[in-house]
Amino acid sequence: MTVRIGFFPNNNSLFVLRHRGILERRLPGTEWVDLRTLPAPPAVDPKHALPTLHSDWLFDAGGYDFVGTGFTPPVTGLAHGRDLVYVAISGPRVENGRLVVKPESPIRSVADLRGRRVGVAHGSWQTTLLLFALERAGLSWSDIEPVDTPVHHGPPGLRSGELDAWVGAYPALALTEQEGPVRTLVETEGLFSHPSLWFTRRDFAENHRNKLIEIVRSLQESDAWVDANPRAAARYFAEDAGATSQADLDRWEHALRSRPFGLRPVSEEFLDEQHRAARLLAAGGLLPRAVDPRSAVLPWLNDLLTPQAA
C-alpha cells in the first residue's frame, strides 16, 4: 500500500520531513502530495462558511492519508461529518502571530472592530484567534466584516487601508514590521495555545497502525533535526518561496526558532480549546453543527506519544 502524505509549508514539520527523506527510509514508496497543487475548493463567503479543503482531500479519492495543519481544519472536518482522528499536537505557538492595526488607526481595542474589515486567512488558526478575541470583547463574527486574506496579502492590505485590522503571521508579519511599526490589539498568548496538529482518517489509524507509527517516529526524528539545525531548515522554506537574499533566510530562521518542534499527545487543555472553537464557529454560522472533539481521540495514539513510551 502506498501511503500518501499531504504537505505544505504552513505545517513546518511535515514540510521539512518531505525534504529530509526520513519517512521514505521507514516506508518505501511513500508518496508526497503538495496540497498547493490540488484543485482549489469552491470559494466561500467568510461571513457565513468555512472552507473544508483539508478534510475533503483527506477523505476523497486522490487526496492523502495523513496531514498536518493549524488549529481550525479538524473542527471543520468533524462538523461536516468526516470521521477523522487526531494524531498529535505541537507545543504552543503563541509567538507565531497576532492581531494588529496601523499605529495611527482609531481602533484602540477589539471592541472597536465592530463593522470593520478584518483580514484573516479564513479557515486557519487565524479564524479561531479572531473568534476568541471577539468573544472576549463581547462581540461575535456577525459584528465584523471578515476578509479572506492570504498571508502575504495582509501587509499591503493593511498599509493601503483596504484592511482595518489583520491577523498577521510570521514571516509575513516581519515584512510589515520592517516597513514601519504596527500596533498590537491582541497577542496570541493568553488567548489560546495555537498548536500545530496532525490528523488522519479513523480507518487508516485502525487498519494501518504500524504505518501510522512510522510516520510519527519519522516526524519526531525530523523535528529533532530542525531544533538542532534551524538555519539549514530555513533554507528549505526560503528556496521554496523563491527567496535568495540573506534577509529572507534570516526571517525564516527567526520564524522557525520561535516555533516549537516535537509531537505531543492530545491534551485536555487542547480539547477544551477545540470544543470552544467548535461552539463559536457553529454559533457564528460558519459550521453546520457543533461537535465534540473528544470523539476524535484514540487513546493508543496518546500512549504512543507519552514520555514513558518514547
CA end-to-end span of the chain, whole Å? Answer: 26
Q: How many CB atoms lie within 10 A of CB 128?
A: 27
Q: List the chain pLDDT tens, one digit each, 310 residues.
A: 899 998 888 889 999 999 999 999 999 999 999 888 877 666 778 888 877 767 777 777 667 899 998 889 899 999 999 999 999 999 998 887 899 999 999 999 999 999 999 999 988 889 999 999 999 999 999 999 999 998 888 889 999 999 999 999 877 888 788 888 899 999 999 999 989 999 999 999 999 999 999 999 999 999 999 999 999 999 999 998 887 678 788 888 988 898 899 999 999 999 999 999 999 999 999 999 989 999 999 999 988 887 644 4
Spacing of C-alpha 142 from chain mean position: 23
35: DSSP letter: G
Q: Do 7 and 18 contact (CB within 8 A), yes or no? A: yes
Domain 4-93+194-309 and domain 97-187, same fold? Reply is yes
CATH number of 4-93+194-309: 3.40.190.10
Rounded-to-integer distance, Cα 166 and Cα 43, Å: 20
Q: Do 267 and 89 contact (CB within 8 A), yes or no? A: yes
Q: Which residue type sits at 196?
A: S
How many CA within 13 A on the CB side of residue 209? 6
pTM, entire model = 0.89
Please give the full DSSP string across 206-252, using - where no structure is assigned.
HH-HHHHHHHHHHHHHHHHHHHH-HHHHHHHHHHHTT--SHHHHHHH
Q: Which residues in 86-105 are b (16+ Cβ under 10 Å) and which e?
A: bbbbbebbbbbbbbbbbeeb
How many CA within 13 A on the CB side of residue 227? 10
Residue 308: partners with Cβ closer than 8 Å, 6 or more residues away: none
Every domain of the chain and the residues it spans: 4-93+194-309, 97-187
Rounded-to-integer distance, Cα 154 and Cα 147, Å: 10
pLDDT in tens, 135-159: 999 999 999 999 999 888 888 999 9
Helix (H, G, I), strand (E, B) or coil at 93: coil
Nearest to 185 by CA among 158, 151, 160: 158
Spacing of C-alpha 304 from chain mean position: 23
58: DSSP letter: H
Rounded-to-integer distance, Cα 310 and Cα 30, Å: 24
CATH 3.20.20.100 fits 97-187, yes or no: no
Please give the full DSSP string across 122-164, using - where no structure is assigned.
TTSHHHHHHHHHHHHTT--GGGSEEEE--GGGHHHHHHHTS-S
Residue 257: partners with Cβ closer than 8 Å, 6 or more residues away: 230
